[in-house]
Amino acid sequence: MTTHGNAGTIKVQYYTFAEPPKELKLESGQSLGPITLAYETYGELNNEKNNAILIGHALSGDAHAAGLREGAGVKELGWWDSMIGPGKAFDTTKYFVICSNVIGGCKGSTGPSSINPKTGRPYAIDFPLITISDMVNAQRHLIDHLGIDKLLCVVGGSMGGMQALQWVASYPERVRSAIPIATALKHSPQQIAFDEVGRQAVMADPEWREGNYYGLGQPEKGLAVARMIGHITYMSDQSMEEKFSRRLKEKNYSFRFKTDFEVEGYLRYKGDGFVRRFDANSYLYITKALDYFDLSGGITRHPGRPIDTKFLVIAFKSDWLYPSYQAQEIVKQLKIRHADASYCEIKSTYGHDAFLLEAEEQTHLISHFLKKVYKDKEGR
């Protein structure tokens, strides 16, 4: 039985770096600084500093991955609380777990809603376009700040999985193992298409004001529609049938443009909740970063050199947003580079959301994988 919140009461921390004139050079060629990263940690870093695990969050996630946010109630449980804590997959009695909000985000890290020191106003769309590589480069500065030379593991689902892959591509010597979950080496045309429809929904809202809506109220209708579209892709046909079927909210059809079906009400609820916690411009920037991501040419800067990082690649049978063939392509490329890579496809009806919900199966796989990696660390 999962004990909720047993990672403890967590306080968000902040690290600021890249102060001018030492701004962070971005993949676009532009520079950004100063940069603040919001992050949380769980467990203790050991004396050898070799038990650190970095968690990457998905598109709408943040640094609050586990436990109870300081000063908050049960509703503020971390988004992966079922996986992080004493006795869980990422056992905080053994490992030091870190999760940071990505640059471009809106939960404490520098993003388009942050104040531009050059103007004294929010960056808005003057914020430079960022990539997954830029997110990882910023995380590397945080890991340096924490005094960690080599991470025991980098792990994440969806966009978090892309960050895990990018860590190995950018800093292979600093990653002992990686667990990319429900992710891909690159977005397919269909995945880009869904992101573009979401972005267009935001930008078509008159309240978007070309990104300059701060202080006036954000484009709630457009962002809510974008989230509704996205949420459909996170579920599976079977999970939607089991959860909603064609059940009505009332006894009969209204014969008006109202929320007749329970699934309609659910999507509107999800959309309305999203606009209260997420910035519309961050949504635009992060989805663009997802679409730019492409490691299909190789998960290493040295094509002829074997990859030393150990991998556990996890996919879910009902995930149609990031279907299992994309995870298998990751493994195929790793095997070409003679990497130690295991692949597991979990039978689940939850669709893409399975990486957040299938705690028991993932715990079994991940805990055994980490135990072996941690045991072997002295010989590496």
Tokens representing residue 7 in the block: 């990672």
Choose, from 82, 158, 282, 348, the residue flagged as catalytic.
158
Q: Please enumerate, as own/partner, the contacts of 330-338 that have beta carbons within 8 Å and a separation of 24 or more.
A: 330/165, 330/180, 330/183, 330/184, 330/185, 330/299, 333/185, 333/296, 333/298, 333/299, 334/299, 334/307, 337/298, 337/299, 337/300, 337/303, 337/305, 337/306, 337/307, 338/306, 338/307
Choose, from 319, 324, 348, 353, the residue flagged as catalytic.
319
Contact 43, 95 (CB under 8 A): yes
Choose, from 133, 134, 352, 353, the residue flagged as catalytic.
352
**Is 368 a known active-site residue?**
no
Selection from 38, 311, 273, 63 nearest residue 177 by Cα: 311
**Element holding 17 (H helix, E strand):** strand 13-17
The rounded distance, in Å, linking the Cα atoms of 169 and 298 is: 8
**Is 158 a known active-site residue?**
yes
Contact 35, 110 (CB under 8 A): yes
Contact 320, 351 (CB under 8 A): yes
**Is 319 a known active-site residue?**
yes
Q: Which sequence positions are flagged as catalytic?
A: 158, 319, 352
